Structure 1
Amino acid sequence: MDSGFVVMDGAGRDPKYAAGRKGWTAINCASKRAYGCGDIGNSAVQDLDLLLHHGDLENLSSSLSVRAGDQFFRWIDQLIAAKGARRPSDRGLRSKVEVVDKGLIVVSLSYSLYAGFDYYLVFDSVDSSLSMIPYIPHSWATYNTKRPLPLRHDGGGGGGYTLVLFGGEFGFARERPNKFLWRWSPTAASSDAWQSNKLIFPSEINNKLFSPDLLFSCNGCAFWTDLALGTLKCDCSTLLSDCRVVKFDFISLPPGCQLERDEDTWPVQVYRTMGYAGGSVKFVAIDDPDDPCDGSCVSSMKVWTLAPSGRKWKLCSDFQLKKLWKDFKRAGLPKNLPIWPMLREQEGDTLYFILEEETQTRDGGQKHHLCRLDMSTKSHLQSKLLAHASLIQGPVMLPSGFLKCLEPLPSSPEPILMDV
Structure 2
Amino acid sequence: MGSAPSYVVLDRVVHLDKEAVKEESEWAIMECRDRKTYLRNDHVGDEVVYGLSLLVQIAEPPDLSKLSIRLSEPPVQVAARPEEILDDGSSVLQLLDLPKRALNLHTSVQSVADDLIVFTSCLRNRTHRYLVYDAIGKSLSMIPCLPNRCDPSATFQSLPLRAGAGGDYTIALLGRDMRSDRETTRRFFQDVLCLCPPPPSSRPPPPSSFSAVTTPWQFKNPLFPPETPNRFKAHMVFSSGGQAFWANLAQGVLYCSCHDVLTGGYDVPFRYIPLPPECHLDPMKNQLRLCRTMNCVKDSIKFASIDMVPPDEAMMTTWTLTLATTQWHKDGELRVASLWGAGGLQEGRVA
TM more than 0.5? yes
Whether the 8 Å contact between 1:35 and 1:42 is mirrored in structure 2 is no
1:204 aligns with 2:227: yes
Q: 1:275 Cα deviation (Å)?
A: 2.3
Distance (whole Å) between structure 2 residues aligned to residue 33 and residue 45 of structure 1? 8
**Which one has more relative contact order, counting CA pairs under 8 Å at least 6 apart?**
1
Alpha-carbon offset, residue 199 of structure 1? 2.6
Which of these residues, 106, 111, 115, is aligned with residue 94 of structure 1? 106
Q: Which runs of 4+ in 1 moved over 4 A?
A: 38-44, 87-91, 173-176, 186-192
Structure whose CA Rg is larger? 2
2: CA distance, partners of 1:147 / 1:72: 34
CA 1:201–1:320: 2 relative to 1, 3 Å: same
Q: Which amino acid aligns with 2:326?
A: R
In structure 2, do the counterparts of structure 1 residues 129 and 273 end up closer, same or farther at CA, with 3 Å as the change threshold?
Answer: same
Aligned AA (1:182): C
Paired residues of 1:221 and 1:235 also in contact (CA < 8 A): yes
What is the CA-CA distance between 1:211 and the residue it aligns to?
A: 1.9
Number of matched pairs = 309
Residue 180 of structure 1 deviates from its aligned partner by 0.7
Q: Say yes or no: does 1:164 pair with 2:178.
A: no
1:188 deviates by 5.5
Shift of 1:97: 0.6
CA distance in 2 between counterparts of 1:51 and 1:186 reads 28
**Counterparts in 2 of 1:239 and 1:300: CA distance versus 1, 3 Å:** same
What is aligned with 1:299? 314
1:4 — aligned with what? 6
Task: Point out where structure 1 has 5 or more consecutive residues left out of the alignment.
Answer: 75-86, 332-370, 372-379, 387-420
The equivalent residue for 1:255 is 277
Identify which range, 44-53 or 100-109, moves more after superposition.
Answer: 44-53
Distance in 2 between residues matched to 1:63 and 1:128, nearest whole Å: 18
The residue aligned with 2:332 is 317
> Normalising by the residue count of structure 2, what TM-score does the alignment of the two structures yield?
0.75
1:276-327: CA deviation from partner (whole Å, max 9, x where unpaired)? 225322211122x3x4x3x8x6111111111352421111111222333443
Distance apart, 1:137 and its partner CA: 1.5
How far did residue 47 of structure 1 move?
A: 0.5
| Structure 1 residues 132 and 233: CA distance shift in structure 2, 3 A | same
1:45 aligned counterpart, secondary structure: helix
1:88 and 1:113 in contact (8 A); partners too: no
Measured after TM superposition, the shift of residue 44 of structure 1 is 4.5
Aligned counterpart in structure 1 of residue 255 of structure 2, from 219, 225, 233: 233
* Runs of at least 5 residues in structure 2 that lack an aligned partner in the other structure: 78-98, 180-184, 205-214
Q: Is it true that 1:126 corresponds to 2:136 in the alignment?
A: yes
**RMSD of aligned residue pairs (Cα, Å):** 3.6
Cα distance in 1 between the residues matched to 2:321 and 2:75: 47
> What fraction of aligned residue pairs are identical, expressed as a percent?
30
Q: Match for residue 53 of structure 1?
A: 57
Instruction: Tell me how far 1:50 sits from its aligned partner.
Output: 2.1
Does residue 265 in structure 1 map to residue 268 in structure 2?
A: no
Deviations 1:381-401 (A, max 9, x none): x74248xxxxxxxxxxxxxxx
Q: 1:44 to 1:302 in 2, by over 3 A?
A: closer
TM-score normalized by the length of structure 1:
0.64
State the distance in 2 between where 1:320 and 1:101 align.
Answer: 31
Corresponding residue for 2:348? 384
Distance 1:312 1:98, change over 3 A: same
Shift of 1:14: 4.4
Q: State the SS of the aligned residue for 2:279.
A: coil
Q: Say which SS state the counterpart of residue 49 (structure 2) adopts.
A: helix
Give 1:196 shift.
Answer: 0.7
CA distance in 2, matches of 1:120, 1:182: 14
The 1:281–1:175 alpha-carbon spacing in structure 2 relative to 1, beyond 3 Å, is: farther
